[in-house]
Amino acid sequence: MNSVIQKSTRIIIKVGSSLVTNDGRGLDHAAIARWAAQIAALRALGKEVVLVSSGAIAEGMLRLGFEARPTDIHELQACAAVGQMGLAQIYETSFRAHQLGTAQVLLTHADLADRERYLNARSTLTTLLRLGIVPIINENDTVVTDEIKFGDNDTLGALVANLIEADALIILTDQRGLFSADPRKDPAAYLIAQGRAGDPALEAMAGGAGSSLGRGGMLTKILAAKRAAKSGAHTVIAFGREESVLTRLAGGEAIGTELSAQTGHLTARKQWMADHLHTAGQVVLDAGAVQKLSKEGKSLLPIGVIEVKGEFGRGAVITCVAEDGSAVARGLSNYSSAEARKIKRKPSAEIESVLGYLEGHELIHRDNMVLL
């Protein structure tokens, strides 16, 4: 028996493009009607559900007469804008058949990187759930550029799970779960029924971003589970065309791959910092500073900083990296990039004499830092 979904109250469900579209011929109305029916059954069990759905660009291509996916960014954005209308329309109609209301929520990374907008998004989603509405979430492809994209809806699903502290993330895909090897190439490959989110061995099994159909691939799903686990959310990766997959999972049936969260919940502020996909700048640390942060739980002092990259203001979330480029931590900087460059490699006792003022003895205080 699989009790993760059965015991979960707040669930994020992510469905990929291949599950809601008709091989590039726009949205699959019958498939979406089935998702609505299953989610209505989950709601009847007392579960709160947020749906992260792809499909807007495919629907926009159909409505605008594109036979192939455009490469021009503005044409893609136009497809997304037109397609969002169709996506919202069909979900509204499908859920209304079960006396459920829906709300469309379009997000960009900038919405979650800004603290005030992050809290507003959280409040909006939790209020919608309290009012009995099913939020339908997608990336706002009409305005995003590559620099601020989530990258894929698996990542978006994990970020939303963290945003509203969901109990579980269900990623529905065109694969039956995570296999020990590519089953299309290795007849001895077997399904990994259970695992630990964040286990490096699972990432190795996923084989890379091209190991599955669709833009994300299995690796992004494994990494999404790792991200969701930071807020205590468990993840199930399952075949979306499995008959009544959602209701069977809710009934305790083991389907696909279950990746359990082993870590406790981060505080809300630290979770927000951990979920930054892009930060305004970086500070490169010497080996001693890396040791102090990662092993001893200390604050970051200016003396341990070798280099400051990017431009950022006081209070910005920045990334701390080791000399080999590996990310060590993220945190709120007490100083701007210009100030940080002046005080790097300096003892804290000299900050005031260098700058003429003192905002803190630390570049990043440990209370404002999350290890990666």
pLDDT digits (tens, 9 = 90+) for 254-297: 999 999 987 666 666 677 777 777 788 999 999 999 999 998 98
Given this model, what pLDDT does residue 23 score?
Answer: 67
pLDDT, tens only, 8-22:
899 999 998 888 887
The residue ranges of the chain whose pLDDT is under 50 are: 1, 147-148, 208-215
Specify the pLDDT at position 146.
55
CA distance 333 to 147: 22
Distance (Å, whole) CA 109 – CA 140: 9
- CATH code for 279-371? 2.30.130.10
Angle at 372 between CA 166 and CA 266, to 5 degrees: 35
Same fold across 4-270 and 279-371:
no
- pLDDT for the residue 209: 40
Task: Give the architecture (CATH level 2) of 4-270.
Answer: 3-Layer(aba) Sandwich (3.40)
Tell me the sheet residues that pair with 136.
51, 104
Residue 281: predicted pLDDT: 92
* pLDDT score for 212: 33
Separation in Å, CA 227 to CA 55, 320, 322: 23, 18, 21
What pLDDT, on a 0 to 100 scale, did the predictor assign at position 268?
Answer: 60
State the pLDDT at residue 215.
43
5 contact partners, CB below 8 Å, separation of at least 6: 11, 168, 170, 236, 249, 250, 252
For position 148, what pLDDT does the model report?
42
Domain ranges of the chain: 4-270, 279-371
pLDDT at 301: 95
